[in-house]
Amino acid sequence: MPRAGCYDARRRATPIMTLRTRSTAALAFALLTLAGGPLPGPSVPAARADVPVLADRWSGPGSARPPFKKILVVGISRNAPARRRYEDLFVSQLRGREVQGTTSYPIVADLEHPGDREKVLETLLAGGVDGVITARLVSLEDRKEEEWAEAWRKEVETVVPIRAYVAESLQSLPPEGSLYGVEFALWGVDSGQRLWAGRSHPVKIKKIRKDANLLVQDVMTQLIFENRL
């Protein structure tokens, strides 16, 4: 069990906390930090079908909060309304953390025809951007959640630079459909590495758009709790 202020490298993708257990764990975290005791682990929530909240999360090595000043938000989806909504919501939440957030859709409006991908990446990451939040839709029309969850865990534990991740994602945008999963990640631009990742439960596209604020809030709460923002 790691002590306060220490990161347990063995802890990988783990079940996400509920809102109730998160607040309890946050209090315990503060008390144990002062007392120098072991850190509490996240608990397992009850299954929630078709609800846009996080199901799993992963956190990379290191416990220090990155000194982000400007974070770019990139929604990776053919669904333009969903992309804009998520990017706008994240930027609004980041503003509350005194971090400058910027959306990607005014820079690259059409992800299906972005043009030269290298130039697109250079443009996106210019202007003092030191962090990136990605939100990628994954089609689950003909895919079981267990299969997706296993593939997601394998991917987040693999070192993939942010540029390669975005470039590959743009080449394999999911087809239009009704059932998706959402994969989130926080990246450091200097290192180019993934710092944190999370995934949702399978959710219908209508719920993804309608209740986007719930999912974005859940991601932000986890990032703050884990000292990533």
pLDDT in tens, 190-203: 999 999 999 999 99
Q: Does domain 54-225 have CATH number 3.40.50?
A: yes
Residue 124: the pLDDT is 86
Nearest Cα neighbor of 165 from 143, 141, 184, 145 is 184
116 within 8 A of 165, measured Cβ to Cβ:
no
Residue 36: the pLDDT is 31
Distance CA(111)–CA(66), nearest Å, equals 29
Residue 138: the pLDDT is 94
The stretch 107-121 carries a mean pLDDT of: 82
Nearest Cα neighbor of 216 from 194, 184, 181, 191 is 184
pLDDT of residue 25 exceeding 90, the answer is no
The whole-model pTM stands at 0.78
Q: Report the percentage of the chain scoring pLDDT > 70.
A: 77
Tokens, residue 40: 């509490």
Averaged pLDDT of the chain: 80
